[in-house]
Chains A and B, each alone.
Chain A
Amino acid sequence: MALLDYLLGQRRKSSANKAKDRLQILLAHERSHAKAPDYLPKMREEILAVIAKYVEIEEDNLKISLDEENGFEILELNLVLPEGKG
C-alpha cells in the first residue's frame, strides 16, 4: 500500500511540476513578446517584401528579435537563404 501511495504520489507530484515548467517557458516567451514594439510585425513584412525582390525565401526563414544587453537595444535580423542560391 505504502509503495502504491508513493508511486501515485510521485505521479501526481509531476502534474504540478509540469504546470510550473510549462508556465516558466511560456511566461518568458510572452514577456519578451509583450515588450516588442508595435512596429515590429509591420517592419518584418516590409523587409520580407524587399528581400523577395532579390531572392526567393520562405517567410519563416526570417527571424527578427529585439533584445536588451548592457543597456543597449539590439535589433537582430536572421535570414536563412535557401540552399544553392544567394
Chain B
Amino acid sequence: MARVIVVTSGKGGVGKTTTSASFAAGLAQKGFKVAVIDFDVGLRNLDLIMGCERRVVYDFVNVVQGEASIKQALIKDKRVDNLFILAASQTRDKDALTQEGVGKVIEDLRADGFDYVICDSPAGIEKGAQLALFYADEAVVVTNPEVSSVRDSDRILGILQAKSKRAIEGDDPIVEHLVLTRYNPNRVQAGEMLAMEDVVELLNIKLLGVVPESEDVLQASNSGLPVILTEGVSASEAYKDIVDRFLGEDKPQRFLSVEHKSLFKKWFGK
C-alpha cells in the first residue's frame, strides 16, 4: 500500500523541491518504488532539480485530464532504480488540477505497486498547496530557522490538521515531520539564528533532521542531481540521515554545532 507524503512549507523558496528530490532519491536507493510529483503547476522546477527536463513528454495535467496515461507520463530516473518523476505542467493554469483528478492519479500509482508517492507542494496556503496535501498520509514540513518561515509552517500545520482528507474524514491524523534546512550553526552559536531546539519547541512536531546551509546544494542543482547523490558532502549526509530516520532508524542529530562541522571536514576533506 503506497504511502503518500507531502513536502510542504507555506513559505516559498525554503527548500521543498530540494528536499523532495533528495528524499525521493534516498527512499528509492533503499529499494522502494518511489514516484515524486511536482504540484507546482505553471512553475515547474522538480524536473530541473532531478535533471530530466529534456525528457518531459507528458505532464501531471495531461494525466489528470486524461490526455495521457500515468505510465506514459512517468519519467524513469537514469541514476536510481525504482525512481520516477511526474512533471508539472509549465503552460496550464493552476485550476487545471482537480481533487478528483489528483485522487485518480494516486489510485493509479497505488495500483502500479508504488511504495511511496512524494508530493512536492507549491508555496502558499491556497488551492495548489491544499491539493498537494489533501491525500497525504504523512507530511514533511520544510522550515528555515527564520521568523516568517516558522510562522508559515505553523499555518500549514493547521491546514494539515483541518483540511486534509484524513482530517475531514476523521481518520488517523497525518504524521508530521520537521525538516529544518539552511541551518547555519555558526550563526546559531552567535545568537543570530533560531536554534533547532527553539523551532522544534515552537512548532511542536517531531524533528526528522537538520540540513545545513551548504554551497553543495546549488552545485547539485546546477548539474541536475539531487544533492543526496553527491558523495561526501554534509547536505547529502543530512538527507541520508533523514531517510534513515524516516524508515525508523534511531540516528543522533548531526550538523548542529560548529565543532561537528569541522570534524566532518577533517573526515571528508571538504
Contacts and interface: CB of A to CB of B under 8 A. Distances in A.
Most central of B155, B191, B202 by chain A CB within 10 Å: B191
Given A12-B192, A13-B191, A20 B198 contact: yes
A28 B207 CA distance: 20
B190 A9 contact: yes
A25 to B, nearest CB: 11
A16 B191 contact: yes
Nearest to B193: A16
A26 interface: yes
Contact of A31 (B158, B190, B194, B198): B158
Contacts of B218: none
B202 A23 contact: yes
Most central of A9, A23, A30 by chain B CB within 10 Å: A23
B217 to A, nearest CB: 23
A12 B189 CA distance: 10
A27 interface: yes
SS class, residues of chain B in contact with chain A: helix
Interface in B166-214: 188, 190-195, 198, 202
Nearest to A34: B158
Nearest to A15: B192
Contacts of A23: 147, 150-151, 202
Given A19-B147, A23-B150, A27-B154, A14 B191 contact: yes
A31 B192 CA distance: 26
Given A31-B158, A34-B155, A20 B202 contact: yes
A22 B188 CA distance: 17
A26 B148 CA distance: 11
A19 B158 contact: no
Interface string B140-167: 0000001100110011001000100000
A22 B147 contact: yes
A70 interface: no
B194 A19 contact: yes
B202 A12 contact: no
Contacts of A19: 146-147, 194, 198
Given A31-B154, A34-B158, A16 B147 contact: no
A15 B198 CA distance: 13
A78 interface: no
A17 B195 CA distance: 9
Contacts of B158: 31, 34
25 contacts: A9-B191, A12-B191, A13-B190, A15-B191, A15-B192, A16-B188, A16-B191, A16-B193, A16-B194, A16-B195, A16-B198, A20-B194, A22-B147, A23-B147, A23-B150, A23-B151, A23-B202, A24-B202, A27-B154, A27-B202, A30-B151, A30-B154, A30-B155, A34-B155, A34-B158
List the 5 closest pairs (A to B, CB-CB), nearest first. A13-B191, A12-B191, A34-B158, A20-B198, A16-B191
Interface of A: 9, 12-17, 19-20, 22-24, 26-27, 30-31, 34
